[in-house]
Structure 1
Amino acid sequence: MMNNERLSDNFTLDEFTRSDTASRLGIINEPGEKELAALRVLVSRTIQPLRDKLGVPIHVNSGYRCPELNKAVGGVPTSQHQKGEAADLSIDGKAADILEALENSNIPFDQAILYRKQNFLHVSLKLDGVQRSNVIIKM
């Protein structure tokens, strides 16, 4: 299913729900209303501002994951991806540049996990509650 709903100037809902694994396994990866609300907040408050600051396209490797998809890709049971509060991002070049842009701004985030070897940044923003602004770097 293709959903071209615009979440911001540079991002569509389809980018945050598309999954090769879901397609291969026949999993319908559609967010509910609360997850969709969380995705809209994540994109408008964190990801689009990051895109604007970087000035280069950001690729969404993984966004929303329904529980079945999260399990299929080996995600942790408490993954914020299941709530629509997280996305794994990459750019042409080093994902560390995304983290640097995030750290050198006032862009809100809950968690930023840099996966150096896989070259992507997991970034999350809670829909409710206090943002931890927690940065983790994995080799």
Structure 2
Amino acid sequence: MKRLCVWLEELRKRYNEKYGVGEEPIHINSGYRSPQLNKKVGGVAGSNHLTGCAVDIRVLGTEQLIRYANILLDYADESHQDFDELLIEKNRYGAIWLHFAVRPFSNRRKVNFINA
């Protein structure tokens, strides 16, 4: 979780420096999930949420989502660190969010759009 929090702090700092007025927080909808909760919300069996390595970040629209994703990708390149997943997710009601995961090892740098 510490590794993931470093990324989130960097995201918050860079977003506020470039776009924010003051100190705007990053809103996390979901972080660690128990197996029971993960099953209830339709999460996959091997979800990074089960190990505390993933978060779902609430966004205020597509523009903010793209800006967040861009910041995280730039940070990965600049810091020479890998992440596991950067997923733009959308549910059947049209809600969108950014799923981001960093594991201790075997990160895949997977970037994708998913209809959840």
Aligned pairs for 1:1-139 (under 5 A) are 39-44=1-6, 46-55=7-16, 56-94=24-62, 95-106=65-76, 108-116=82-90, 117-127=94-104, 129-138=105-114
The alpha-carbon deviation at position 111 of structure 1 amounts to: 0.6
Give me the TM-score of the superposition, normalised by structure 1.
0.63
How far residue 100 of structure 1 moved from its aligned partner, in angstroms, is: 1.6
**Number of aligned residue pairs:** 99
Change in Cα spacing, 1:93 to 1:57, as seen in structure 2 (3 Å) is farther
Larger relative contact order (CA 8 Å, sep ≥ 6): 2
Q: Which runs of 5+ in 1 are unaligned?
A: 1-38
Please identify which structure carries the higher strand content: 2
Cα distance in 2, alignment partners of residues 64 and 84 from structure 1: 4
Q: Which amino acid aligns with 1:86?
A: A
SS at structure 2 position matched to 1:105: helix
**What displacement does 1:48 show?**
1.1
- Please give the per-residue CA displacement for 1:23-55, whole angstroms capped at 9, x wherever unaligned: xxxxxxxxxxxxxxxx222112x1111111111
CA contact (8 A) 1:60 1:87 kept: yes
* Counterparts of 2:107 and 2:46, CA distance in 1: 16
Which SS does the other structure have where 1:104 is aligned? helix
Gaps of 5+ in 2: 17-23
Judge conservation of contact 1:57–1:91 (CA < 8 Å) in 2: no
CA–CA separation in structure 1 for the residues paired with 2:103 and 2:113: 20
